[in-house]
Structure 1
Amino acid sequence: MTQRTIGKQGLVVSALGLGCMGMSEFYSGRDEQESLRTLEVAFENGITFYDTADMYGNGHNEEFIGPFIRQHRQDVIVATKFGNIRGDDGSYLGISGRPEYVREACEKSLKRLGVDTIDLYYQHRVDPDVPIEETVGAMAELVCEGKVRYLGLSEASVATIRRAHDVFPISALQTEYSLWSRDVEDEILPLCRELGIGFVPYSPLGRGFLTGQIQSFDDLEEGDYRRYSPRFQGDNFQKNLDLVTRIREIAVEKNCPASQLALAWLLAQGEDIAPIPGTKKTKYLLENVGALDVSLTQEELQRIDAIAPKGAAVGERYPEAGMVNVNR
């Protein structure tokens, strides 16, 4: 698979990564054996960039992918995150960027993954009560000690990214970016390019909506967190479905699934972008990999832009409580 350099510090990853969150939580229909097979098939198809976080399954996801990571340790990049605190019962307790917590969280992630070093360590959400300089300073100490190789931020604002990068080089920013979430194009993405920070889009398929597989709210099973997402509710659902229908028309012309078209569009936005579509099923993993074979002409890119310009999707990305914690 094509490789891409993320940031100026030397981090090289596969053009497509794999988001592992759904293997532990948030999405319905989990099957551990199928998830394990998906990890292996991803590796067989050249994916070497695996994304997890300590909050996914309250630690379960790191433990789950740990044996796979260790088996292929010399050939894979593992990224994980800290900052979202949960209780033993899974309840959400808030965000912490305190230096002592950074170290504690890192040690726990290393233990769950069963590795000596985390390749890419993100602050999952910015703590408004702790200066970013203190948080990144603690993260930098982990790099100096060899426990972390590269640093990243997630859902950070322009001001926060600048301040963080002044303390220690940030290699990657992970923020939602897709055909229905293009806000980063205004300021965030240009800043990353100014500073030489790579961009890792999560939810590049709009939490599955851009695949065209979800045709009604009832397609979402009980326990699926998307049932609480504003974009999947009420009139928003149909309006967003109309957008996907128009995207699928171009995909039909290209003789590819809508998911491949959406990923191909994102990959075409720059060589410094490495999306991490998440899936727990081999079928969808192989479909996503196929996006690398989809080439879009300038005319096709312009048509897609006309169909899905910035602000085309209806509804916020997260419920109100979740939106408070983004772009800080």
Structure 2
Amino acid sequence: MINAGVSKLGFGCMGLTGVYNAPVPEEAGITIIKHAFEAGITFFDTADAYGPHTNEVLLGKALKQLPREKVQVATKCGIEGFDANGLRVKGTPDYVRASCKASLQRLDVDYIDLYYQHRIDQELGIGIVPYSPLGRGFFAGRAAVESIPSESFPSKHPRYTGENLEKNKVLYKRLEMLSKKYGCSPAQHALSWVLHQGEDVVPIPGNMP
């Protein structure tokens, strides 16, 4: 991002041009954005899918009445449209470049502070690598729950301390019973659940002494 420092709260512009509600009049939308800026918000989020396109145009008009160097604009691409199966997602390099150029024109700005993919295009083979698929050792076995070395990293983790640990011991016992029903260990059960989240998911369990 060119302007890295953003306000603690951002403003989602989607509703101004109607998604779950009727769109507000253009002047009212501009006034709302200006009021948000005056209240201390500098980070404004939009997307080419909102409207579609009209949301970026509205934000662009509001930006003309604000100091651009003090505003951070985020917009997105990736939702190509809708069909009977739901969202049509696209993330090819050519599509992203063309979408970014179109967003710059609709916003009427020289740069976009944050530009990101609205949804993951699974056709591109983008994988997901979930770390700690065994819950930082929680599902590794009974010993991991009942005996935790005081000098170890898990002993400092919230799920292994105080009331959380006692509650998690109960959850572990329930999972252990369910795992026995399916003829597997809690660790195998946990990994199976992660693997069933999609063919693009590759968990990376490690080892613990």
Same fold (TM over 0.5): yes
Query: Runs of 4+ in structure 1 displaced over 4 angstroms?
Result: none
Distance 1:26 1:14 in 2: 25
1:117 is matched with which residue? 111
1:159 pairs with one of 110, 129, 132: 129
1:78 is matched with which residue? 73
1:128 is matched with which residue? 122
1:25–1:31 distance in 2 versus 1, CA, 3 Å: closer
Deviations 1:104-130 (A, max 9, x none): 100110010001111000100000011
Deviation at 1:86, TM superposition (A): 2.1
Question: 1:100 and 2:70 equivalent?
Answer: no
1:62–1:10 distance in 2 versus 1, CA, 3 Å: closer
Whether the aligned pair in 2 keeps the contact of 1:55 and 1:84 (CA below 8 Å) is yes
1:70–1:29 distance in 2 versus 1, CA, 3 Å: same
Matched residue type, 2:121 = D
Distance 1:128 1:66 in 2: 31
Question: 1:43 and 2:37 equivalent?
Answer: yes
1:86–1:57 distance in 2 versus 1, CA, 3 Å: same
1:131–1:12 distance in 2 versus 1, CA, 3 Å: farther
How many correspondences in the alignment?
Answer: 135
Question: 1:21 and 2:7 equivalent?
Answer: no
1:233 is matched with which residue? none
- With normalisation by structure 1, the TM-score equals 0.36
Give the secondary structure class of the aligned counterpart of 2:124.
coil
Distance 2:54 2:9 in 1: 23
Structure 1 unaligned residues grouped into runs of 5+: 1-5, 133-156, 163-185, 188-323
Structure 2 unaligned residues grouped into runs of 5+: 137-196, 202-209
Percent identity over paired residues:
43
2:194 is matched with which residue? none
- With normalisation by structure 2, the TM-score equals 0.56
Higher relative contact order (CA 8 A, sep 6+): 1
Whether the aligned pair in 2 keeps the contact of 1:53 and 1:62 (CA below 8 Å) is yes
Distance 2:106 2:61 in 1: 10
2:159 is matched with which residue? none
Deviation at 1:25, TM superposition (A): 2.2
Distance 2:3 2:124 in 1: 29
Deviation at 1:92, TM superposition (A): 6.2
Which of these two proteins has the greater Rg computed from alpha carbons?
2
Whether the aligned pair in 1 keeps the contact of 2:45 and 2:74 (CA below 8 Å) is yes
Q: Kindly report the root-mean-square deviation, in angstroms, between the aligned alpha carbons of the 2 structures.
A: 3.4
Deviations 1:276-311 (A, max 9, x none): xxxxxxxxxxxxxxxxxxxxxxxxxxxxxxxxxxxx
Give the secondary structure class of the aligned counterpart of 1:129.
helix
